[in-house]
Structure formats: structure tokens, C-alpha cells
Amino acid sequence: MILQKMPGERGGSLRSGFAASLSARMGVVYCAYFMIYSVTSPYLQLILRRLGYGPAAIGLLLGFYELVGIAGPIVLARAADAAGKFKPFLYGTHLAMLAAAAILATIRSPIAIIVSLSFLALGLKTPGPVLDSSALIAIEAERAAGRKVIDYGALRAIGSAGYVLIVLILQAIPGYDGNPPFVMAMAMAAFMLLSMASITIFPEMGSGRARPGKKPINLSWVDAPFVIGLVTIALGRLAMAPTGSFFSLYLVEELDWYAVGGMYALAAIAEIPMMLVAWRFMRKRSPMAAIAISSAAIVVRLLIYALVPTKGGVVTAQLLHSLCYGLFQPASVAFVNLKTPPAERTTGMALLLGIGIGLPAFIGSAIGGFIVEAVGYRWLFASFCVFAAASLALYAANRKALDAVR
């Protein structure tokens, strides 16, 4: 049994109360975890800029950050699965993040920056698949027992709400965008500690038993539709790489608009309602149909950045985040969840985060900086439309097989 019966549990009311408690605990952990992103994602590129790096160097550094981040989900998440306990690994990843913040705040040499980004990538990227697989196991167990429980989309919406709250607070602080790296690194550390504390209430969904010996990687379940679907997802994520790596610099240097936190908050606010209804849409259609809609929205969003470089254009483009991420992310998770055997769920989520998300982010960041230095931010966004269009074309060519996964 994944979830043991609570001592003295009697009747439906106590069981439903336990389900509600489980939902609340998972919601708190997701909220605290995504708060870390609120002090890293919008500001990491600005920190590197203030340390004296140009767009090409920032692109390479953030590409390296994404590349190292692939190892966390694939290697460390699998190790957690094999150990039979997830929470010790979650604590370890948070310690790695704290080490990264300490180095970023105190040492400015290129080697120190690379080490700091390595620790931050491993620490921040690894909890994602572990939390997702734990949550999905818990949700499935509760539903199998006939109890109502929060769904994954709602959990991600709670995480987004925590993210929005902190980003708006930071935006309201006068001059926060212009703070030195030390102040921003200390803000990171504060929320890393908060997230680390929240893990104490997260349910341990590991098997509780370490696997004897080293389990060979089992990819026998991987078939052609899974590979095609993962590539379709990766192309969509590649198209969005410039937004993740250069959007803050685009606002500050192209538009001279210091509204980094506000624009990130607007995007996150737009995604929350879609996160809540995405699962209903996918029940009627399919996860990959949702990915196709998201890819079309990505094309429109990037073209707005490129062709309408105004405050109004940016606001409009940020609202499309509801489709570009609010629909895209749950659809990606749903597709992998449907195609992955329960025993390999952590591996499946790791493949998604590493190959479907991390690798495209690395490629996009690594080449994006050179494009910026050669032709500017607007051409960067325009040129990456081709990858979203390729994602749409791949889906259209394999629509029957991909839509069968539902």
C-alpha cells in the first residue's frame, strides 16, 4: 500500500479529512518551492549582467546552467527512486541551492560563478520531477481509495500563486531590479530556507526500501509515439528559450522599462486559470492537441515581442503565457504520465524535465546570446518562431498516433 491507513481511522469523514490534509500539505510545499523561482528566474540574468557579462556570455552561462540541470532530474531523481526515499534527496537539493546563493553573494570569479550555477541548477531542477512523481502517486492512491483529492493542475496553480505573490512584492520594492548581486542572492537564500522547511510536511511517497544492487535503466516502455511526443514538446520549449533567458534584458535594454517583476507576475497570473481547466480540456481532446495549441500561441507571442516592442505589446504577449505555459506544462506532464508505467514514473518525469525542457533551454540560451549581439533582441525572438512552427508540423504529421494518448 502506498498510503497506510491512519491509526484509528473510521468512516468517510475522517478519510476525507485525511485527503484534505494531504492536499493542503502538498499545496504548501509546491507554493514554497515555486517561491524560489520568483527570486531566481526573473533576476538571474540581471545578476550576471551586473557582474559584467555580455549577452553572449550570459547565454553561454545560462545554457551551461540548463545543461547541468539535465543531470539533476535524470541522475539524482533516479537515485532517489532507487533509494526508496525521496525526502532526503529533497533536503540535499536545497542545501545545494543554499551553497549556490552563498557563492554568488561572496565570490565573483568566473570559476565561482560556474560552480554556483552548477549547484543552483542541480538544486533547483531536481525537486521538480521528485515532487511531481510523488504528487501523482499520492493523487492516484487517494482516488483509487475513493477519496477526493486535489489534482495536479491545481497543485501547479498553487505553486504559481506563490510565485506571483513574491514577484509582486519584489516589484513593489523601489529599485529592487537595480540591487547588487549580494542582495538578490540573499533573497534567494531566504526562500530556499522556507522551501526546505516545508519539506517536513510533505508525504514520503517512496517505496521505503532501497533496491538491491544497481537497477538497470529500463526504457522498454519507450515507443515511437513517446519519442515523437517528447520531440514535439522539446521543439515548443526550444521556441520559448529566449523568453526564459533574455526577456528581463529585453525589457531593460530594449524598452528601458524596469518592470521585470511585474511582467513575470502578469504572465504567472495569466497561467493560473488555465492550469485549473487544462485537465478538463485534455479529457475532451488529448494532451498533444493541447501542446499544438500552445505552440501556435508561442509563435504569436514571439512575433509580438519582435514586431511590437512597446509596453502594450509586451503586456499582450505576457497574457499569452496562459497558453504557452499554463496549458503547455500540464499537457506535457499528462502525456508523459500516460505513456510511463507507474514503476518508471520518476524516470519518465526526469526525461521530460531533462530532454524535453532542459536540453532545449540549453540550446536556446547558448545560441541566443550570440544572436542578440549580432542582430538584437527583436530578431532573436523572431528567429525562434521556426521551432514552434516545427513543433506544429511534427504534431500534424503524427496527429493520429499522438492524439491516441489520452
Strands (E), 106-264: none
Q: Is residue 100 a contact partner of residue 123, using CB atoms and an 8 Å limit?
A: yes
Question: Which residue, among 109, 105, 97, 121, has the nearest Cα to 32 in the 3D structure?
Answer: 97
Among 314, 304, 300, CA closest to 252:
314
Note whether residue 251 is domain-resident: yes
Compute the half-sphere exposure of residue 172: CA atoms within 13 Å on the CB side of its CA.
Answer: 7
Tally the C-alpha atoms within 13 A of residue 84's C-alpha that lie toward its C-beta. 9
Residue with cell 526564459: 244
Whether the Cβ atoms of residue 359 and residue 70 lie closer than 8 Å to each other: yes
Phi, psi of 24 (to 5 degrees): -65, -45
Q: Is residue 191 part of a domain?
A: yes
Report the predicted TM-score, pTM, of the whole model to 2 decimal places: 0.80
Cβ(315)–Cβ(264) under 8 Å? no
DSSP 76: I
CATH number at 326 reads 1.20.1250.20
Along the 406 residues of the chain, how does pLDDT read in single tens digits? Answer: 333 333 333 444 434 444 458 788 888 999 999 999 999 989 999 999 999 999 999 999 998 998 888 776 667 766 766 666 778 888 999 999 999 999 998 888 999 999 999 999 989 988 887 888 778 788 877 778 777 777 777 887 888 889 999 999 998 998 888 889 999 999 999 999 999 999 988 877 655 555 555 556 667 788 899 999 999 999 999 999 999 899 999 999 999 999 999 999 999 889 888 888 887 888 888 999 999 999 999 999 999 999 999 999 999 999 999 999 989 988 998 899 888 887 777 678 778 877 898 889 889 999 999 999 999 999 999 999 999 999 999 999 999 999 888 8
394 in a structural domain = yes
Domain range for 308: 18-208+218-403
Domain total in the chain? 1
The CA-atom distances, in angstroms, between 169 and each of 141, 172, 302 are: 37, 5, 27
